[in-house]
């Protein structure tokens, strides 16, 4: 029994030394210096070490997967809008319809931004392309500032057998029988008439 008590005292002393304890000034054992836990077995066989407490200084792992929030980068700026899908080359630049006369004609020419010219005459239609010179000339005529002053209607009520020209361009519609004095409009009509069937 004395040998067992002596072994117990030795084991306790070793454990206290490992735990960093020492006797205080008042003769009582001092508190442990840190949070480490030590266990002592009476049988003299060492017990498995207690698992180490997780360190509060360890860096936490960054979130990953679908829950991770990604900040917008240069390839995906916030508020970016997709680029325009079309160039506008297929839109109509000008449409001219010619009706009336003794024979009651009904002809049409449509010029698009890509240089395509579509013509129609009493149901028969055709498509061709304007030459570079024709297209440049037409764009120049459409850009003439004098067209802004052309009235929407310029008709002579006493001439029922005249051709009536209806033009649509630049968001407006102009109708004339060519009896007025509008040189800019006359030049545009002359250029468009060259594409009409039978001229």
- pLDDT tens sequence across 89-116: 779 999 999 998 877 789 999 999 999 9
Kindly state the tokens that stand for 85. 């899908």
Least confident of 22-31, 49-58, 67-76, 93-102: 67-76
Same domain as 182, residue 128: yes
User: Sign of torsion, CA 171 173 179 180?
Assistant: negative
> Looking at residue 29, what DSSP letter applies?
B
In a domain, 136, yes or no: yes
State the total domains in the chain. 2
Arithmetic mean of pLDDT, 158-181: 91
Same domain as 107, residue 162: yes
What local confidence, expressed as pLDDT, does residue 199 receive?
61
Same domain as 181, residue 104: yes
pLDDT(185) > 70: yes
What local confidence, expressed as pLDDT, does residue 58 receive?
44
Pick the closest to residue 104 from 120, 118, 121, 116 (CA basis): 121
pLDDT(173) > 80: yes
pLDDT(16) > 80: no
pLDDT(190) > 70: yes
Same domain as 21, residue 101: no
Same domain as 43, residue 111: no
In a domain, 75, yes or no: no
In a domain, 151, yes or no: yes
Kindly state the tokens that stand for 30. 């001092």
- Compute the distance between CA of residue 128 and CA of residue 197 in angstroms, rounded to an integer: 12
For residue 122, name the pLDDT band (cuts at 50, 70, 90): confident
At CA 183, angle to CA 109 and CA 94, rounded to 5? 25
What local confidence, expressed as pLDDT, does residue 100 receive?
87
Same domain as 41, residue 113: no
In a domain, 2, yes or no: yes
Arithmetic mean of pLDDT, 34-50: 44
- Compute the distance between CA of residue 101 and CA of residue 60 in angstroms, rounded to an integer: 89
In a domain, 178, yes or no: yes
In a domain, 59, yes or no: no
What local confidence, expressed as pLDDT, does residue 141 receive?
97
- The pTM of the full predicted model, rounded to 2 decimals, is 0.55
**Domain carrying residue 23:** 1-48
In a domain, 99, yes or no: yes
């Amino acid at each position: 029994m004395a040998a067992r008590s002596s072994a117990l005292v030795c084991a306790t002393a070793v454990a206290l030394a490992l735990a960093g304890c020492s006797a205080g000034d008042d003769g009582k054992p001092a508190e442990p210096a840190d949070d480490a836990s030590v266990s002592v077995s009476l049988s003299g066989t060492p017990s498995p070490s207690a698992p180490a407490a997780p360190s509060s200084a360890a860096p936490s792992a960054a979130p990953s997967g679908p829950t991770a929030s990604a900040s917008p980068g240069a390839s995906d700026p916030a508020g970016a809008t997709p680029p325009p899908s079309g160039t506008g080359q297929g839109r109509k630049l000008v449409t001219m319809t010619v009706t009336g006369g003794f024979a009651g004609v009904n002809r049409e020419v449509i010029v698009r931004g890509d240089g395509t010219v579509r013509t129609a005459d009493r149901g028969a239609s055709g498509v061709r392309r304007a030459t570079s010179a024709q297209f440049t000339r037409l764009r120049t005529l459409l850009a003439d500032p004098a067209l802004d002053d052309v009235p929407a209607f310029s008709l002579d009520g006493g001439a029922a057998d005249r051709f009536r020209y209806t033009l649509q361009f630049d968001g407006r519609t102009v109708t004339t029988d060519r009896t007025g004095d509008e040189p800019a409009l006359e030049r545009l009509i002359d250029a468009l008439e060259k594409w009409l069937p039978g001229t």
